[in-house]
Amino acid sequence: MKIQSILLLFFTFLTISLFGQDMAEYTSGWEGKIVGSKVFNLKVEIESFGLEKARLKISNSKSIIDYPFDSRSTSILKVPFTENYSFEGVLSENGKEINGFIKSGMLLYHLKLTQSDNNIFVGVWNILMVDELKSLNFYLSVENGAGNEYEAYPIFGDNRFTGTWCDNFQKENDSISFTDFKTGLHFKGKLTADEIQLDIYLGKNSITQVSLKKSTTDWKIGGFNNKNKVSILKLTEMEKLISKDSLPNTHSVLISKKGEIIYENYFDGYNANIPHDLRSASKSISSAIVGIAKDKSLFTNVEQSIFDFLPNKYQTLKDSLKTEIDIQSLLTMSSGIDAIDYGINANPKSSATEQNYQRTPDWIEAILKAPMIHKPNTNANYGSANPALLGVAMDSVISEPLELFIDTFLFQKLKISNYIIQTDLRDKPYFGGGMYLTPKDMLKFGELYLNKGKWQSNRIISKKWVKKSFKNYRNLENVIDKNGYGYLWWHNTYQINGKNIKSIEARGNGGQYIFVIPCLQTVVVITSGNYRNGKTQQPEEIFEKHILPYLEN
């Protein structure tokens, strides 16, 4: 009997060694602690720039990347420092900065590397978007485990990081691995009887390791306080409602009048240094890029057909009606393509909604194959397919990488360097949304349009383009309020003391707003996190009930 027990234990051990654990046993919540608050704030250095033996180094408390490259005789620096990761940048005219992007996952992280005293260019890459983690708690939700099948989703206790989009779940024996295709981070776990040792990688190089145990209590996520505030206005009632969660998930409120910040406040642990996910509010930035390209005569006029800009492989998709889709129709959501979001319960697979075309290997092909429901430039229906096509068009007329054009001719001129651009499947900037900017930089962008294309007396966009952008072309038929719409800018009217106040707005899902109010010479920025609770338009309530009364006085 004793021999049989020993043999049984031996074969059990052998089975586990050969085939690994059943993931059903690991389907649970797991938790651990990150080793330091700045482990994901990575130092980036370029040594010996301009020489044959230059080096790109990335580190936290330890060296992560040390990549040699030849930096001689090139106008655009391109460094593929590890598999699926690269740095691309340009030396400034004064030779003291390198402005560029790290491509990681679906994001282009902008970096400004500044020359130090010992001739090394240095900058910081905040891969989780935050300047420092306020919580070291780390959680892993292992779901749908059966045999070697499972899903795993990392969750940070600091929920100011916008979260991971994980896939490619793999298992071999007692090892699991998966990838966050948004940030590009790679996760590898070692399974034991009561623990998961999880390594977080940049390519094949470990950033940090977290030891995870099964959770026995509820997870503690968010709930951070703020003390930073600049205020000339007294918005006491608004602040009370935010603190009591009556205006939930409000992350920031900023107001400028005649170019001066008169109110700046952050909530839920947010601060001036954290780029916020603008979602579709960055469509208005896409409009600015089209305007800059037009001002530079990179295309003839907004009446040009989109097919004038598309690669040959898409030309077979045009017909007599689709060939009438022009730049202006895309700017005004009037292409006529069926890109209407009908909702979860009734969304035809043939339509060009984001949830449809983003599930295909070729977004542009999927959009162009969608049926036409109107003649171009007649009816307006909000849909991200329209600016998505604009991004392809602009990429075709701009000679340098599109992201470098955006940086050089818009963001550098606005003195904006702390930002991130989401890409499409072509690794090009996605004009449909998803850019990350700090609220103060959102305010700068609003002031640029309030001042008719000038910022700090410098002309960035032509007055003519701004005027066309703010024109109300037609009302959006597929939104509740039937708002007027310009060149990727919303129109709205608010009531205060019996008066109508007109506002031109950049808007993004979850409550990301830039209000430009010409009659009050004011710009208001509100950022939020109301993605799934039906309160995405809460900033309009805050603006009308709590801000406008003070601006009118």
Pick 553 or 444 by higher pLDDT: 444
Q: Does residue 343 carry a pLDDT above 80?
A: no
Q: What is the pLDDT of residue 344?
A: 45
pLDDT digits (tens, 9 = 90+) for 285-306: 999 999 999 999 999 999 999 9
Q: Where in the sequence of the chain do the CATH 2.40.128 domains occur?
A: 19-37+132-214
Q: How far apart are CA 245 and CA 63, in angstroms?
A: 43
Q: Quick one: what percent of the chain has pLDDT higher than 90?
A: 90
The neighbouring-strand residues paired with 411 are none
Q: What is the pLDDT of residue 96?
A: 95
* CATH class of the domain at 225-276+436-553: alpha beta
**Contact residues for 213 (Cβ-Cβ < 8 A; gap 6+):** 30, 31, 32, 194, 195
Q: What is the pLDDT of residue 15?
A: 47
Q: Where in the sequence of the chain do the CATH 3.40.710.10 domains occur?
A: 225-276+436-553
Q: Does residue 147 carry a pLDDT above 70?
A: yes
pLDDT digits (tens, 9 = 90+) for 447-499: 999 999 999 999 999 999 999 999 999 999 999 999 999 999 999 999 998 89
What's the predicted TM-score (pTM) here? 0.95
Dihedral angle, C-alpha 301, 445, 388, 104, nearest 10 °:
130
Pick 548 or 229 by higher pLDDT: 548
Q: Does residue 1 carry a pLDDT above 60?
A: no
Interhelix angle 385-397/283-295, rounded to 10 degrees, is: 30
Q: What is the pLDDT of residue 378?
A: 98
pLDDT digits (tens, 9 = 90+) for 408-424: 999 999 999 999 999 99
pLDDT digits (tens, 9 = 90+) for 232-243: 888 999 999 999
Q: Does residue 334 carry a pLDDT above 80?
A: yes
Pick 83 or 377 by higher pLDDT: 377
Q: Does residue 153 carry a pLDDT above 50?
A: yes
Q: What is the pLDDT of residue 72?
A: 87
Fold of 19-37+132-214: Lipocalin (2.40.128)
Q: What is the pLDDT of residue 349?
A: 72
Residue with tokens 């990727």: 488
**Contact residues for 408 (Cβ-Cβ < 8 A; gap 6+):** 90, 99, 400
Structure tokens at 422: 């989401």
Q: What is the mean pLDDT of the chain?
A: 94
Q: Does residue 275 carry a pLDDT above 90?
A: yes
pLDDT digits (tens, 9 = 90+) for 344-384: 444 567 789 999 999 999 999 999 999 999 999 999 999 99
Q: Does residue 223 carry a pLDDT above 60?
A: yes
pLDDT digits (tens, 9 = 90+) for 2-41: 565 555 544 444 444 445 689 999 999 999 999 999 999 9
Q: What is the DSSP code (8-state) at residue 335?
A: S
Q: What is the pLDDT of residue 12?
A: 47
- The tally of CA atoms less than 13 A away on the side-chain side of residue 163 is 13
Q: Which secondary structure element, helix H or strand E, spans residue 77, and what is its range?
A: strand 77-82
Pick 262 or 74 by higher pLDDT: 262
